[in-house]
Amino acid sequence: MDTLNILIMGFISIVIINNLVFTKFLGICPYLGVSGRIDMAFGMGMAVTFVVTLSGTLTWMIDNWILMKLGLEVTRYVCFILVIAGAVQLVEMYLRKFFPTLYESFGIFLPLITTNCAILGLCLFINLWGINNLLEAVVLSFGAGIGFTMAICIMAGIRENLNLADVPQCLKGAPITLITAGILALAFMGFAGMIR
Amino acid sequence: MRYHTRECVEENLAEMLELWNSAWPAGATMLGLGFGFALVLLIASEKLKVWVDPKVEQVHGALPNLDCGTCGFAGCGQYAKAVLKNPELIGKCAPGGPETSQKIAGILSLQVSDSGAVQKPIVHCHAHTADKTYYAKYQGIQTCIAANALANVQACAFGCVSFGDCIRACKFGALSIVDGLATVDYDKCTGCTACSKACPRNLIEMVPFRYENMMTVACSSKETGKSTRSMCKVGCIGCGLCVKQTEQFTVEDNLARLDYEKYEATEQTETAMNKCPTKVIIYRGKTKNPQDKPGG
């Protein structure tokens, strides 16, 4: 029961309270780049969720079972990037084979997940937060993906409506998007301190 | 002095050895992990292989690969695929310009010629301004579609209205209006079918060009011989003189037609052409004979 409690709390924490986009400001590139349309945003969120779950789990395993045993913590960055790039390649091949239409609609964004800092950030955070349980690492990774999906979908919904809004000339385009992102992050600050 | 140097060297050596000792596990782990992932990806790439049409690669190679999106697709890869499916999209690549279009057309028409003759358009009208009859001067919107909606834009309801919808459709500049008649420049034409779809009167038909010049009945008038003659000096009156010469011709709805699939340049077709009373049977194509009007 205690484990389950920790898992649920960890999940809620990473989705809402410690959301990578809103509180850590990671993964801003796809967050602003692919949030034009809500269906694209959701697809991107799903791809990121998949990759982050896979790479978060893998990196935890490599970190705890290989790097820490050998005292090679300094090589974390290199290893993690390797794992993420590999996972993205794998996802790309899989999508291309089984979901060609989804693959087409992603286009260039799928390879760009490789350099999505939210993913590398999460892999490093898992280590920083001292997660020493594989299950917890998996749940946190998955939660990070869900959190990213939520963030990007909220943003896409707002931006779709923003198209119809009467925005002052000087704020059209990127400025109003950045202001929106800032206000959203501010709103999510309200969750801070809800747990612990 | 000598002693000092040796000590120095030994110190350096020890330092380097220490560095090596602490570095090699890291290197080995990295290599191991790298090879592990390489192996997984290798297996995955074999298992999840997707067959791609080599023509896609060719077309993609011919494109400038800027992924600018001017063509309306996400990138050059998507455009290459779309062009293969629908050759009409040739020429959407603005940065590549006509050269790229020609290259793609080359790749695509190679594909066409593999499966038979190259399809090229033939304009089924031969009436220049002097040959036509007009009831009034049309002053509306200067497009064929708009003009065609009006009943009596010109006497012949089947002839070229010469406002150049086909010219605007053509991305290679292969069409022009020569003296009131849409004319194809077969040197520039790539056979993309855009013009034949643009013509509101369906005058432009895609024809398998098995010869440099194809014989054709350059008229589409289904009026009776008498009324065709009253409206146009060069219309087909459906007299059937050509049919008597060779079975390659047929007359239906007062209009002679050449069966392009069966067409072979024989003496009979030549005679039929000469016997045609309104001289509407002509050659179209890369005309080498200077006395023929080019394509006209």
Q: Which two tokens stand for residue A10?
A: 């960890």
> In this structure, are residues A141 and A53 in contact, taking their beta carbons and an 8 Å threshold?
yes
Does B75 contact A108 at a Cβ distance shorter than 8 Å?
A: yes
Q: What domains sit in chain B, N to C, each tagged with a CATH number? A: 54-114 (1.10.15), 118-285 (3.30.70.20)
pLDDT classification of B290: cutoffs 50, 70, 90: very low
Task: Count, in order, helices (H) and strands (E) of chain A.
Answer: 10, 0
pLDDT at B65: 78
Which pLDDT band holds residue B2 (cuts at 50, 70, 90)? low
Q: Using a CB-CB distance cutoff of 8 angstroms, which residues of chain B are in contact with residue A67?
A: 29
**Which one of B48, B71, B81 would you mutate to disrupt binding with A, by most A Cβ within 10 Å of its Cβ?**
B48
8 A C-beta contact, residue B156 and residue B237: no
Q: What is the pLDDT of residue A153?
A: 94
Query: What is the mean predicted confidence (pLDDT) over B46-55?
Result: 80
Contact B212, B288 (CB under 8 A): yes
The answer to whether residue A88 neighbours chain B at the CB level (below 8 Å) is no
Residues 6+ apart with CB under 8 A from B226: B237
Token digits of residue A83: 């794992």
pLDDT of residue A179: 93
Residue B97: pLDDT band (50, 70, 90) is low
Which residues of B fall below an 8 Å CB-CB distance to A? 25-26, 29-30, 33-34, 37, 40-41, 44-45, 48-50, 67, 74-75, 78
Q: Which segments of chain A have a pLDDT < 70?
A: 1, 107, 195-196
Q: Tokens in use for A69?
A: 């045993």
Question: ipTM of this model?
Answer: 0.72
Q: Specify the 3-state DSSP secondary structure of B250.
A: strand
For B51-60, letters b (16+ CB in 10 Å) and e give: eeeebeebbb
More confident residue, A55 or B78: A55
Q: Which residues pair with B215 in a beta bridge?
A: B283
How would residue B279 be classed by pLDDT, with cut points 50, 70 and 90? confident
**Residue-level pLDDT at B11:** 85
Could you report the per-residue pLDDT of B215-254, keeping only the tens digit for each? 889 999 888 888 888 888 888 998 888 888 888 888 888 8
B41, B51, B67, B85: which to substitute to probe chain A, counting the most A Cβ within 10 Å?
B41
Task: Write down the pTM of the prediction.
Answer: 0.54
Amino acid at B238: G
Q: What are B136-157's pLDDT values in tens digits?
A: 888 888 889 888 888 778 888 8
Mean pLDDT score, B117-125: 83
Domain boundaries, chain A: 35-148
Q: Would an 8 Å CB–CB cutoff place A78 in contact with chain B?
A: yes
pLDDT at B117: 65
Q: Which of A75, A86, A96 sits opposite B30 (nearest CB)?
A: A75
Name chain A contacts of B30, Cβ cutoff 8 Å: 75, 78-79, 82
Q: Indicate if the pLDDT at residue B70 is higher than 70.
A: no
Q: Return mean pLDDT, chain B.
A: 82
Given a cut of 80, whether residue B292 has pLDDT beyond it is: no
Is the CB of residue B258 less than 8 Å from the CB of residue B246? no
Closest to B157 (Cα-Cα) out of B250, B219, B239: B219
pLDDT at B203 over 80: yes
| Chain B residues inside the 8 Å CB shell of A64 | none
Question: Strand, helix or coil at A132?
Answer: coil
For residue A181, the model assigns a pLDDT of 92
Which pLDDT band holds residue B90 (cuts at 50, 70, 90)? confident
Cβ distance B29 to A70 less than 8 Å, yes or no, reads: yes
Higher pLDDT: B41 or B289? It is: B41
Dihedral angle over CA of B78, B79, B83, B85, nearest 10 = 20
The least confident of A20-24, B33-37, B70-74 is B70-74
Q: Which two structure tokens, joined as six digits, stand for B158?
A: 């089947």
Which string of b and e fits B238-248 if b means at least 16 CB within 10 Å?
A: bbebbbebbeb
Q: How far is Cα A68 from Cα B28, in angstroms, rounded to an integer? A: 15
- Least confident range from B110-124, B202-216, B274-288: namely B110-124
**Closest C-alpha among B103, B105, B107 to residue B120:** B105
Rg of chain A taking only CA atoms, in angstroms: 18
> Is pLDDT of B115 > 50?
no
- The answer to whether residues B245 and B169 touch, using CB atoms and an 8 Å cutoff, is no
| CA atoms of B260 and A91, how far apart (whole Å) | 52
